[in-house]
Structure 1
Amino acid sequence: MENKDLISFEEHQVDKPCQLGYMNMEAIVEVDNERPPYSLPPHISQPYPWLVISHGEFDQRQTFFSISQYQYYTKIIPEMRNKQVCCSSFGWLVLLDLVSFDCSLLNLISMETIQLPPFNMKFDTCILTALPSDPNCRILFFNLIEDEFLFCSLDDCEFSKQKLEDDDVISVTTFGGKTYCISSEYCLLTIEFEGSSLRFTKLTVQKTESKLFNFTIQRKNYLVEFFGEMLLVCKIYSPRLCEWASYFEVFRFDFYKREWIEVKSIGNNAIFLTDQCYGSCSSVVEESDIRRNSIYYTQYEDRNLYVYDLEDRSVTTSLPCPIVSRRKSSHYWIMDHLLK
């Protein structure tokens, strides 16, 4: 092994204004005892998602940044080499090989892998609808440009493909054991899997004078489950710098009135968003430096971590891992509060 890899096995404390005090150490589920520690994720549980940065010439390094500790751990996990993290759900990662386009599931606690059918399609969002042990588990990809779904079960030999004929889809998620998508007209639809087909059921949305229906503004939309409620989080882009967020808007879906209602505050909670259009929320623990009523996010080809305050609409910037190259790294939130 070359000396340049030795730094990958160390833990690093990142400079910050004040120390984050919340951390809970627990034992990891036993895996192969012959594996060296640097080839396993950190043996730490925390109340918030981890920011995982894949970097190196072949994405062979994985840096796990803990916002609870404000500390990062760099590992070399063979199962994640040259892989894109498509989504993180139910303790599993959906991984896509960037060369072969092989698709697989990885459990970061047991390190169990499950091979999926080959995949060769550009996509914007991926979701896992249930635990792999559940017979209703489906892996679903969505391509925003082609307005096309690609999906399969663990028993399928190939992915099935289907479009929503009457409208364009802008976001997909799971909520309350069901799968939902939202159209470009902000209508919420349920998605049911019927063999190799999808059945869509539209939930009527009453159009209002809400600024949500200002279609002159460029948005990136995230459907997020928020403690039993469905939120639509809109990242509003700057008109001058179209790839950079200017501010955020948040809406709650009222299932009784079938309409979106603007939310001014998310209270003592924080939302975490990925570039793959999925997100999660967490309650802010007392005596923690996690910002309440805020949205944590990253930008494409940028090393910084951003925090948007919904109350004063300010943005705070920090550098979670200074050793990572700007243009040869990818950022993902591991949403399952890793290794509980």
Structure 2
Amino acid sequence: MAAAEPLLRRSWSSDLPIELLSEIFQKLTDCEDISQCAAVCLSWRSLIRTLYRQLTSLQSPFLLLSSSSSSSSSLALASASSNNDKKQCYSCTLFSTQTKNLHQIFLPQLKERWCSSSSDGWLLTIPFDRKKNPSLLNPFTRDQIKIPYLGTFCKPQDLRVVTSTSPLDPECVVLAIDGTNLYVCRPGDKTWTPVMMIHKCNYNGFNWGDTICYKGEFYADLAGQIFHLKFSRSGSVEAVSLPVSSTGPYGNNYFVELKGELLLVRVSQRYDVYRLDWHRKRWIEVRNIGPNAIFLGKHSSTSLCVSKFRGDFEENCIYFVTHNRDVVVHHLGTNNYKTLYHSSLFCKIPPNWLRVESAEL
């Protein structure tokens, strides 16, 4: 009788009507519950994957936080303590900026791994053993896609990735940034393809800045100059400088898409927002972003319409993760800012924004 229990358990979960499950899943308000439901069986995971964009509890940005760790890596965003509590050992901690609640999501896929960055709701997980393959992990559906071995890339904590679409799509392109170099791959590739660049010597000493996939195309910032990645039929990739005027003195530049427009936010002593005018090939200063908010971070940035969140966010504002690991809110209209969360809430590395609304499955 005991041997038959697993079969009965699978039958119970997979035989529930899809319509009933859909209604239940859409009423879930806790991202931990959503992740746990995705782990029950393949049919539940498939349904959550289908409903991914519609689950209201996943629509606002989360802060991906460092968890306490006694592992050899103090940089682990995944807890890896030596106790017997597996939920604590293999989990990531998310802070909901909407509900102000902490969520610890149990993810056995994080065993002996840490998270370096995120892209469109997917986490880049890097193994403690650098000879093993990194992966892209969806913390809510628990889907996991392997990407090629990192080889001699830079320090893992500096590695960033940007995806062109969902990693479940075989046509997805993954862009990796390791400081001075760019690489691309597709799911299933065995190696990374380096991105070539003409006159690279002109930029010696500069690291690649922010990157974005905008309308299916990759763009990257290098010392204030914007580059477009062009893919040839032969499989090679080249970074080509765009003939676009500079926004002014070089600062920390961040790309973000807002209402279909490509924006650049320059952070120095102040916050300056620019919209790219593709026809005139110049950046146009934007002084008001209307009923919207922009969320900027080292590894990912996003935007949203605040009216959809019933006063949980402020309009015409930028939410920014500082180098001191504080999260500040800057109002573009008044140029005033306030600290929303202090670094004492976090561990040794800055939190990352994790946004699932833009992830396509």
Structure 1 residue 337: deviation in Å? 4.2
Structure 1 match to 2:6 = none
The 5-angstrom pairing of residues 1-340 of structure 1 reads: 25=28, 28=34, 30-33=37-40, 45-57=57-69, 58=71, 59-60=78-79, 61-81=91-111, 82-89=113-120, 91-100=121-130, 102-120=133-151, 121-122=153-154, 123=158, 125-144=160-179, 146=180, 148-167=181-200, 168=203, 169-192=208-231, 194=233, 196-206=235-245, 212-215=247-250, 219-236=251-268, 246-276=269-299, 278-285=300-307, 287-300=310-323, 302=325, 304-319=326-341, 324=345, 326-327=347-348, 330-337=350-357
Preserved CA contact (<8 Å) 2:197 2:240 = no
Preserved CA contact (<8 Å) 2:116 2:159 = no
Structure 1 residue 152: deviation in Å? 1.3
Identity of aligned residues (%): 22
1:195-235 C-alpha deviation (Å, 9 max, x unpaired): 5420344432246xxxx2224xxx21111111111001112
Assess, with a 3 A threshold, how the Cα gap between structure 1 residues 255 and 98 changes in structure 2: closer, same or farther: farther
Structure 1 residue 265: deviation in Å? 1.3
Cα distance in 1 between the residues matched to 2:224 and 2:56: 42
1:88-135 C-alpha deviation (Å, 9 max, x unpaired): 22x433322354363101122321211211114124542111222434
Query: Counterpart of 2:231 in structure 1: which amino acid?
Result: E
Cα distance in 1 between the residues matched to 2:176 and 2:267: 21
Which is bigger in relative contact order (C-alpha 8 A, separation at least 6)? 1
Where in structure 2 are there 5+ consecutive unaligned residues? 1-25, 42-54, 72-77, 80-90
Root mean square deviation, CA, Å: 3.1
Query: Counterpart of 2:172 in structure 1: which amino acid?
Result: C
Cα distance in 2 between the residues matched to 1:227 and 1:44: 20
1:147-167 C-alpha deviation (Å, 9 max, x unpaired): x11221112111122342325
Q: TM-score, normalised by structure 2?
A: 0.70
Structure 1 residue 320: deviation in Å? 7.3
Cα distance in 2 between the residues matched to 1:193 and 1:103: 26
Assess, with a 3 A threshold, how the Cα gap between structure 1 residues 254 and 149 changes in structure 2: closer, same or farther: same
Structure 1 residue 334: deviation in Å? 0.7
Preserved CA contact (<8 Å) 1:45 1:338 = no
Q: TM-score, normalised by structure 1?
A: 0.73
Where in structure 1 are there 5+ consecutive unaligned residues? 1-22, 35-42, 237-245
Assess, with a 3 A threshold, how the Cα gap between structure 1 residues 99 and 28 changes in structure 2: closer, same or farther: same
Aligned pair count reads 287
Higher strand proportion:
1
Structure 1 residue 70: deviation in Å? 1.7
Query: Counterpart of 1:71 in structure 2: which amino acid?
Result: N
Structure 1 residue 49: deviation in Å? 1.0
Cα distance in 2 between the residues matched to 1:221 and 1:98: 31
Cα distance in 2 between the residues matched to 1:98 and 1:308: 37
Cα distance in 2 between the residues matched to 1:173 and 1:338: 13
Assess, with a 3 A threshold, how the Cα gap between structure 1 residues 28 and 84 changes in structure 2: closer, same or farther: closer
Assess, with a 3 A threshold, how the Cα gap between structure 1 residues 339 and 172 changes in structure 2: closer, same or farther: closer
Query: Counterpart of 2:327 in structure 1: which amino acid?
Result: L
Structure 1 residue 85: deviation in Å? 3.6
Cα distance in 2 between the residues matched to 1:333 and 1:321: 15
Structure 1 residue 254: deviation in Å? 0.3
Assess, with a 3 A threshold, how the Cα gap between structure 1 residues 133 and 112 changes in structure 2: closer, same or farther: closer
Q: Secondary structure at the match of 2:189?
A: coil
Higher helix proportion:
2
Structure 1 residue 24: deviation in Å? 6.9
1:286-324 C-alpha deviation (Å, 9 max, x unpaired): 63131111111223463x3211111122221133796x5
Q: Secondary structure at the match of 1:225?
A: strand
Superposition misfits of 4+ residues, deviation over 6 angstroms: none
